[in-house]
Amino acid sequence: MNKSISLKSRPVGTPTLSNFEFKEVEKPQIKEGEVLLQLKFVSVDPYLRGRMSDAKSYIPPFELDKAISSGAIAEVVESKNDNYKVGDFVSGHLDWQEYQVSEGKNLLKVDGAQVSLSAYLGVLGMTGLTAYFGLSEIGKPKEGETIVVSGAAGAVGSVVGQIGKILGCRVIGIAGTDEKVEMLKSKFGFDEAINYNTTKDMQKAIAEASPDGVDVYFDNVGGEISDAVHANINRFGRVVVCGAISMYNATEVPMGPRVQGFLVKQSALMQGFIVGNYQEKFPEGMKQLVTWLQEGKLTYEETRVQGFDNIPNAFLQLFEGKNKGKMIVEI
Amino acid sequence: MNKSISLKSRPVGTPTLSNFEFKEVEKPQIKEGEVLLQLKFVSVDPYLRGRMSDAKSYIPPFELDKAISSGAIAEVVESKNDNYKVGDFVSGHLDWQEYQVSEGKNLLKVDGAQVSLSAYLGVLGMTGLTAYFGLSEIGKPKEGETIVVSGAAGAVGSVVGQIGKILGCRVIGIAGTDEKVEMLKSKFGFDEAINYNTTKDMQKAIAEASPDGVDVYFDNVGGEISDAVHANINRFGRVVVCGAISMYNATEVPMGPRVQGFLVKQSALMQGFIVGNYQEKFPEGMKQLVTWLQEGKLTYEETRVQGFDNIPNAFLQLFEGKNKGKMIVEI
């Protein structure tokens, strides 16, 4: 028995369970040079929404009726490849399928002795690197500057805020529940945190939390929250456009205040990126994140959902903000 | 008799003549160390609209009932300053007043022997430097890349396009009349030019003119023209946000499609600037522009309006796109 999850139909607006198909497929046989992998942890991330539509983007869309894929940790359960032995754990971009064959390329061996294996999907994986490179390569915060982070309680945002503190900045987080706001301050060391669901005037709240204005805005959400931050951007401010979860399920192009005004007035920058742009620097980024983690300067939060069949549910919950930190499915 | 023009009231929406006041003031006397200047050429520029409102910006607003000021060329008609003699011509930020006193600071001596004196307000002045630094410092075009310029027939745009050609790029201009479109191609060497007033589907027209996509967009206008260019931006594209003339007279914040989507998808950049950011590099920029001008690689166009009393009219005509190249008032 080998379960697999594929895309049945392309979501229009907010995805639902009906967009996914649960199949049973044969457990595959491996050939010389291959390994058989058993999924252990699956990462679900907002960017996967983009791959479910067939609009042109930086990665090709998922194909209908084929297994969906994402970052995952698996155990090697059979091996005809000298580089891997049974019992090894690997991180890679894998199918949502319990057992799958790999030629061993593009897999990274991971070790659960020091940190949880799932950390390689979060703080030591794609989301940690996204935070690290987005902030260091685009945000370029200087000591004493003010950083605002939206989606601050998420996998990327919580790492961005902590790096900001390590670098000596004032850090303001924006999140959607009081519990998250509390976590940002007590667990992650943010200077201030704002609950956008209970704050009437976000522009004013950000201004009050940022008496010296906002030098770097690390944006994971887009939409009206971002409009409110833009209004507080300092001269030579930098807006790191990492994601726009508030816009991913829109069925029409979302409209908002045009940005040219504040960009010219403040000589400000907005720059989009994907973590893959910095692939050559991944080892450097990983080394820094591991060091901070070992020094106790960096911590992380996970929301774990149990069971292979719940991968789509966990994905859908991202859009309801159900996760604190990295959303992980444990198989 | 010494005429002066001041701001009578702050314009709401499109400025009109009624916002300006024509006064007669005394012809001033100079003291030791001062010079008396007589205005010769006055530069009117879209950015002055921003100074007429009292919204916070990168330069303080004009004060009501005080002379308006802008870039200008004047002749020294009396001098008690050893650095200037009668008959010298100077460029500086001067009042809209026929005769005015200066201590000689922040004035640049200019020589009309090689080029028209008014060129120091355009291709060899603020607008030329704006084109040069916006393109070189933010756009960073590489040989073979495609540059799109909006407001291409204006003072900045026409220089941007020519520099793009000097650097070996494909250059597409956007302008508002067939006459301007013709001038972009025949006089300034643009590869293609598009009349936005007669083109139904701008996004498609830009796509057709840019078979390899758009690497650099030098934006002088904002609004729907820019939306159409953004839709054609390549991966790692750069949008140089120089101005947004289509938005300057808006009475509410103009709305448009949110930009986060294309910024992330294309890992693209939008950056606003003002030429003053590069003040330390002005000598380098001037040297390059003069060299290109002398080599015949760079040319320029002027629209001249005659007479001191017509300064406000010339300014108002900018928003109707009446100018080709630099708008200059000759006193």
Chain A residues in contact with B258 by the CB 8 A cut-off are 222-223, 244, 247, 253-256
Chain A to chain B Cβ contacts (< 8 Å): 116
Kindly list the domain boundaries of chain B, sorted by start residue.
Answer: 2-120+301-330, 126-276
Instruction: Give the SS3 label for residue A267.
Output: coil
Chain B residues in contact with A255 by the CB 8 A cut-off are 255-258
Tokens of B5: 């023009």
In the chain, the amino acid numbered B318 is L
Confidence of residue A250 (pLDDT cuts 50, 70, 90): confident
- According to DSSP, the β-strands at B35-43 and B20-25 are unpaired
In the chain, the amino acid numbered A176 is G
The model's pLDDT over B22-39, given as tens digits with 9 standing for 90+, comes to 999 999 999 999 999 999
The model's pLDDT over A181-225, given as tens digits with 9 standing for 90+, comes to 999 999 999 999 999 999 999 999 999 999 999 999 999 999 999
Distance from CA of A220 to the nearest CA of B (A): 10
Task: State the average pLDDT over residues A257-273.
Answer: 96
Q: Please judge whether A247 and B255 are an interchain contact, meaning their C-beta atoms are less than 8 angstroms apart.
A: no
Please name which of A268, A264, A267 lies closest in space to residue B47, comparing C-alpha atoms: A264
- How many Cβ atoms are within 10 Å of A2's Cβ, its own excluded? 14
pLDDT of residue A107: 94
Q: Please judge whether B272 and A277 are an interchain contact, meaning their C-beta atoms are less than 8 angstroms apart.
A: no
Q: Please judge whether B255 and A258 are an interchain contact, meaning their C-beta atoms are less than 8 angstroms apart.
A: yes
Instruction: Establish whether this prediction's ipTM goes over 0.85.
Output: yes
pLDDT of residue A252: 87
Average pLDDT, chain B: 96
pLDDT of residue B246: 87
pLDDT of residue B146: 98
CATH for A2-122+302-330 is 3.90.180.10
CA A202, CA B209: separation in Å to the nearest integer? 42
Instruction: Give the SS3 label for residue B8.
Output: coil
- Matching CATH number, B126-276, of 3.40.190.10, 3.30.1330.60, 3.40.50.720, 1.10.10.10: 3.40.50.720
The model's pLDDT over B151-174, given as tens digits with 9 standing for 90+, comes to 999 999 999 999 999 999 999 999
pLDDT of residue A253: 86
Task: State the average pLDDT over residues B250-259.
Answer: 92
Please name which of B191, B156, B139, B184 lies closest in space to residue B170, comparing C-alpha atoms: B191
CA A289, CA A115: separation in Å to the nearest integer? 12
Confidence of residue A120 (pLDDT cuts 50, 70, 90): very high
Hey, what CATH topology would domain B2-120+301-330 get?
Quinone Oxidoreductase; Chain A, domain 1 (3.90.180)
A168: left (phi over 0), alpha (psi -120 to 50) or beta: left
Of residues A251 and B263, the one with the higher pLDDT is B263
Q: Please judge whether A262 and B272 are an interchain contact, meaning their C-beta atoms are less than 8 angstroms apart.
A: yes
- How many Cβ atoms are within 10 Å of A93's Cβ, its own excluded? 12
Distance from CA of B328 to the nearest CA of A (A): 24
pLDDT of residue A251: 86
Please name which of B136, B324, B162, B323 lies closest in space to residue B240, comparing C-alpha atoms: B136
Q: Please judge whether A258 and B244 are an interchain contact, meaning their C-beta atoms are less than 8 angstroms apart.
A: yes
Is residue B229 pLDDT above 80, yes or no?
yes
The model's pLDDT over B50-102, given as tens digits with 9 standing for 90+, comes to 999 988 777 889 999 999 999 999 999 999 999 999 999 999 999 999 999 99
Find out whether A256 and B258 touch, Cβ atoms under 8 Å: yes
A19 CB-contact burial (10 Å; exposed 0-12 / middle 13-18 / buried 19+): middle
Measured CA to CA in angstroms, residue B143 lies from A97, A134, B207, B298 at distances of 47, 28, 20, 18
Find out whether B157 and B163 touch, Cβ atoms under 8 Å: no
Confidence of residue B248 (pLDDT cuts 50, 70, 90): confident
Is residue A58 pLDDT above 80, yes or no?
no
Please name which of B104, B87, B108, B107 lies closest in space to residue B30, comparing C-alpha atoms: B104
Per cent of chain A over pLDDT 70 is: 100
- DSSP-assigned letters across all residues of B95-119: ESBSEEEE-STT-EEE-TTTS-GGG
